A = this chain, B = another copy of it.
Amino acid sequence: MASDPLVVFTPSGKRGRFPVGTPVLTAARQLGVDLDSVCGGRGICSKCQITPSYGEFPKHGVTVADDALTAWNEVEERYDSRRGLKPGRRLGCQAQVMSDIVIDVPPESQVHKQVVRKAASARIIEMDAATKLYTVTVEEPDMHEPSGDLERLEKALRGQGVEEMVQADLSLLGKLQTVLRKGKFTVTVAVNKSHQDRVARIMEMWPGTYEGGIYGLAIDLGSTTVAAHLTDLQTGEVVASSGIMNPQIRFGEDLMSRVSYAMMNPGGDVEMTRAVREAINTLAEEIAKEGEIDPSLIMETVFVCNPVMHHLLLGIDPVELGQAPFALATSESMTIDARDLELSALNPRARVYILPCIAGHVGADAAAVALSEEPGKSVDLALIVDVGTNAEILLGDRSRVLACSSPTGPAFEGAQISSGQRAAPGAIEAIRIDPETKEPRFRVIGSDKWSDEEGFGDDIAGTGITGICGSGIIEAVAELRIAGLMDESGLIGSAIQTGTHRCEPDGRTNSYLVYDGTPSGGPRVTVTQGDIRAIQLAKSALYAGARLLMDERGVDKVDRVVLAGAFGAHISAKHAMVLGMIPDVPLDRVTSAGNAAGTGARLALCNVGARKEIETVVRQITKVETAIEPKFQEHFVNANAIPHKTDPFPELRQVTDLPEVSFNTGGRDGGDAEGGRRRRRRRA
């Protein structure tokens, strides 16, 4: 009697046998395959799209017949006719397993791909990894010329250009003799050469010739998200990318609240250290699974992070970073054992490189951006802004580079916003308000269509509209200003003042209604006066930081702006300028660097020379401490308004000037002083 059909999922490689008639989605869930579904298998959300493969699969040991899945059914027919399925796609909740089958889960159908939008840039990196593979033949022992197996291995490696003293961890030394004899004295070793000490470390060994790969992780350890790129150390190829929320969020959304947590709670720093290390282990395991490699093949990890995360990762109480003079325990780069960070998911001998910090508020993440974007090699004057929970700001050209950090808070990431949420399916990510009708239209993550385009409703049927994310709130505030619904000070007008019912009273101020989902049980998405204040605080901090560097440099304009960071990739440059987040430059002089910090981490992972380079560069950067510069406060207060100014991009719209309106009613929420006080409290 034949056994149940075999189901193989790619790229995960997970496989199992299931009774005839099992829906693919059910099989995926039972195997723990990362296949999304938000409608509960009703054929509505289309999140569970899969691509069945037919024919011979010697790799999987499977032959897939044409009728391995049930035929196309009416639910799929309906979905396809209304919104279109890509050729070859099926809905995993509808298609049922009839015989052996190989099923590919496309990236869009994987759940956690959508949570974190950081992705490895495609930048070309010259490979010269610290860890390399060598296959050598070792002299056999001779009792008339006694020497240790390790010493003969060292001699063989010297013949291949490894000049350093060779060291093997005791855990490897214990298996060296067996491995050598098993391979008849031919052995493949992974050798790590640090630029910071003069030894060559054996990381792993295989008898004979090893054909497999060795890997490294480039990790961008952010306050909110942790993003990792699993990278082949021989080719530089990014094998898998994955992200995870930073579990420290439960101790405080922004960095200073985490520092406070450590100050207020004895052992709080230890708790946060443990949480982030555990998260990194989980991430490493998941990414290895995704890349279909054994996590013990991960030989190296490079970290970029801000100073508070740097200290918490290393197990150092960040309390000194919460008060002047913001002294780092150590600012230099570090090369240490992964086991010292309790990163047990990796190879037990894996090494960790952490980029240097620039100053108490300017971390290894800023150093990584400097490594990736190379402001010190720029001919024109570049302003590089890495927008996250904290903004890292670099200003420079060939003559000089300056750096500072500005505590923008999490508003740009959708936190501390009334209808705010992270960038995830269902979040409004872009918005336009018609200056005539004052009506909004918007785009939601999960659909490429605008809300007034056909098919939008179907696209988002699975998730609904759940809130507004960082890029969405920035656009909303800028659009409110452009549409004349908000004055220069940031006050939203009333329905009477603006002539639209979407401006509705909300306590003593007004809110703007973006979307009302209550008829279908969904949320009301509004932009409140408080949201605008939060964005004003954040954008003022960012702008003030940039201005401070420009003052230091003695300029009042820059030649180009680079928006970096996970979030930078999604900010509309135009709206950012309307808002006054960044100094005005021609639109074509604003570029997105994607996750520049992550790219810097990958550079340091793939090229050991890049480590030396950034260590040199960091020493030459002029550090500017925003927290103690009186001018920062001044710039901050001045930047609070959303000024009356010319629309920088008239070609995109009819109006050429932002409207002169004022809605200040003298209410208690009207002044800028309030914002200033909140700022100071956070820095105190």
Contacts and interface: CB of A to CB of B under 8 A. Distances in A.
A189 to B, nearest CB: 14
Interface string A603-621: 0000000000000000000
A357 B623 CA distance: 52
Interface in A315-369: 315-317, 319-320, 324-332, 336, 340-341, 357-360
Given A174-B315, A197-B198, 5 more contacts: A146-B360, A149-B328, A170-B316, A173-B314, A197-B197
A20 interface: no
A329 B149 contact: yes
Contact of A331 (B144, B148, B196): B148
A454 interface: no
A180 B169 CA distance: 33
A466 B628 CA distance: 82
Q: Which 8 A-B pairs have the closest CB atoms?
A: A141-B327, A148-B331, A146-B359, A150-B330, A143-B325, A148-B330, A148-B328, A141-B325
Nearest to A150: B330
Contacts of A196: 165
A588 interface: no
A143 B362 CA distance: 12
A638 interface: no
A309 to B, nearest CB: 15
8 contacts: A141-B327, A143-B326, A146-B327, A146-B328, A149-B327, A173-B314, A177-B317, A197-B197
Interface of A: 140-144, 146-151, 165, 168-171, 173-174, 176-178, 196-199, 314-317, 319-320, 324-332, 336, 340-341, 357-360, 623, 625, 627-628
Given A151-B332, A336-B170, A316 B198 contact: no
A352 B386 CA distance: 45
Q: Is the interface of A mostly helix, strand, loop or mixed?
A: loop
Contacts of A149: 327-330
Contacts of A329: 148-150, 173-174, 176-177
Given A177-B317, A316-B174, A324-B143, A150 B332 contact: yes
Contact of A142 (B168, B169, B320, B325): B325
A148 B327 contact: yes
Contact of A625 (B144, B325, B623): B144
A561 to B, nearest CB: 25
Contacts of A317: 174, 177-178
A358 B143 CA distance: 11
A340 B170 contact: yes
Most interface-central of A148, A314, A627 (chain B CB within 10 A): A148
B150 A360 contact: no
Nearest to A340: B170
Contact of A143 (B197, B330, B625): B625
Contacts of A165: 196
Nearest to A178: B317
Contacts of A319: 177
A148 B357 contact: yes
Nearest to A328: B148
Nearest to A314: B170
Contact of A332 (B143, B148, B341, B625): B148
A627 B143 CA distance: 10
A315 B523 CA distance: 63
